């Protein structure tokens, strides 16, 4: 009985030892497999590193480089498109500015020519008025030489030196009246200068006289800060007006400029310009009325 018990214990110990050895063997195999996996992974990383260093033959590297190259080319294409659009916009702006400059130059040139023509016409009109005044009054504006008595020069007297001083320039008249007002004043002067003759029964003095004209109405007109104040209203450049004269003519005009003592108006019918002085507006030679710009 005791022998059987000893045998049974020995068999159990043997089984326990075998299980322990098996577990230890499995653990050694696991460690060995883990070590092998580590070595394989390390070798793979070393190969990849070598491929990168030698020529960039690594597949992952080539894949990422291809994607980066696509992004680079796309960015260059967008930059070229942006440059093309900006260049076209600059070209359009340049052409637009060039056309505007040419148009402004042409307009200024036409305006300058019109102003010079108007000034020359005004000077021509003044000269014609001066000539007409001289013909009516019989006066001459020529400077007459002063008669001097020449004395006989003695043999020992020095030779007289001719006077080289400038001759006085002929005087120039500036008229601020209209042709009709000038002619009326000249006729009045000629009547005052002519001798009075006795009146006969059939003379005009004995005929029924026509009623005298009422005194001319005076208008308030002045220029302040580039604007015209006329008949309790303000007028400015580019304003549409009607210009009425004593002959009952009514002209559609636009104020082209406002000076210090006069204004320039441009007729809408033929674009000709006229200069109107403040004195003419104050005397009522011309009357300004507002009109719609339409």
pLDDT of residue 61: 80
- Count other C-beta atoms under 10 Å from residue 19's C-beta: 10
pLDDT of residue 182: 74
Nearest to 173 by CA among 213, 212, 125, 210: 125
pLDDT of residue 143: 45
- Can you tell me whether residue 279 is helix, strand or coil? helix
Q: Crossing angle, helix 2-54 and helix 59-137, to 10 degrees?
A: 30
pLDDT of residue 151: 55
- Can you tell me whether residue 85 is helix, strand or coil? helix
pLDDT of residue 93: 95
Q: How far apart are CA 148 and CA 14, in angstroms?
A: 174
Q: How far apart are CA 233 and CA 10, in angstroms?
A: 140
Contacts (Cβ under 8 Å, ≥6 apart) of 67? none
Dig out the tokens for 30 from the structure: 């696991």
DSSP 176-213: -S-HHHHHHHHHHHHHHHSPP-PPPTTSGGGSPPPPPP
Q: How far apart are CA 68 and CA 56, in angstroms?
A: 14
Q: How far apart are CA 72 and CA 155, in angstroms?
A: 112
Taken in order 100, 101, 102, 103, the sign of the CA dihedral is: positive
Nearest to 111 by CA among 294, 276, 275, 271: 271
pLDDT of residue 218: 79
Q: How far apart are CA 120 and CA 13, in angstroms?
A: 143
Answer yes or no: pTM beyond 0.75. no
C-alpha distances out from residue 71 to 56, 83, 128, 288, Å: 19, 18, 85, 74
pLDDT of residue 159: 57
Q: How far apart are CA 229 and CA 234, in angstroms?
A: 4
pLDDT of residue 263: 92
Q: How far apart are CA 128 and CA 58, in angstroms?
A: 104
Dig out the tokens for 127 from the structure: 């000269």
Q: How far apart are CA 47 and CA 61, in angstroms?
A: 13
pLDDT of residue 189: 73
pLDDT along the chain (294 residues), means of 10: 51 65 76 87 84 75 88 94 94 94 94 93 90 71 49 58 51 56 73 53 43 60 90 90 83 90 90 88 88 64
């Amino acid at each position: 009985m005791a022998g059987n018990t000893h045998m049974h214990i020995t068999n159990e110990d043997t089984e326990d030892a075998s299980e322990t050895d098996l577990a230890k063997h499995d653990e050694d195999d696991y460690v060995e497999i883990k070590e092998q996996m580590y070595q394989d992974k390390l070798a793979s990383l070393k190969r990849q590193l070598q491929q990168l260093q030698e020529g960039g033959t690594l597949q992952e590297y080539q894949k990422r480089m291809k994607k980066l190259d696509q992004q680079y080319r796309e960015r260059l294409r967008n930059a070229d498109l942006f440059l093309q659009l900006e260049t076209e916009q600059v070209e359009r702006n340049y052409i637009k500015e060039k056309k505007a400059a040419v148009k402004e130059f042409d307009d200024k040139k036409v305006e300058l020519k019109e102003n010079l023509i108007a000034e020359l016409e005004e000077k021509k009109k003044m000269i014609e008025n001066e000539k007409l005044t001289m013909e009516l009054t019989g006066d001459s504006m020529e400077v007459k030489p002063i008669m001097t008595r020449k004395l006989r020069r003695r043999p020992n007297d020095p030779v007289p030196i001719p006077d080289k001083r400038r001759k006085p320039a002929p005087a120039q008249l500036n008229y601020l009246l209209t042709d009709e007002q000038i002619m009326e004043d000249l006729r009045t002067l000629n009547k005052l200068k002519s001798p009075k003759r006795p009146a006969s029964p059939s003379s005009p003095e004995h005929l029924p006289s026509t009623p005298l004209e009422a005194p001319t109405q005076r208008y308030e007109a002045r220029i302040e800060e580039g604007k015209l104040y006329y008949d309790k209203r303000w007028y400015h450049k580019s304003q549409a007006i009607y210009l009425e004269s004593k002959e009952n003519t009514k002209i559609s005009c636009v104020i082209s400029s406002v000076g210090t003592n006069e204004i320039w108006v441009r007729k809408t019918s033929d674009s000709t310009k006229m200069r109107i002085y403040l004195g003419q507006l104050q005397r009522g030679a011309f009357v300004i009325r507002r009109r719609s710009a339409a």
